[in-house]
Amino acid sequence: MRELRGRVALVTGASRGIGAAIAEALAAEGCHVALAARSQDAIEKRAKEIRQRYGVEALALPVDLGDATQIGPLIESVVTRLGRIDILVNNAGAGIYGDVASLRAADLRATFDVNFFAPVAAMAAAVPHMRSQGDGVIVNIGSIVGKMAQPLGGGYSASKYALHGASGAARAELKSDNIAVVLICPGLTDTEFAAHSRISVPGLEDMQGERHAPLRGVPTERVARRVVKAIRRREREVYITLFDRLVVLGAQLFPGLFEWGLLLATKIRRQRFAQSMQE
Name the residues annotated as catalytic: 156
C-alpha dihedral sign at 115, 116, 119, 122: negative
CB-count burial class (<10 Å; 0-12, 13-18, 19+) for 68 = middle
Closest CA to 8 of 145, 198, 136, 177: 136
Give the Cα separation of 137 and 88 in Å (integer).
6
CB-count burial class (<10 Å; 0-12, 13-18, 19+) for 264 = exposed
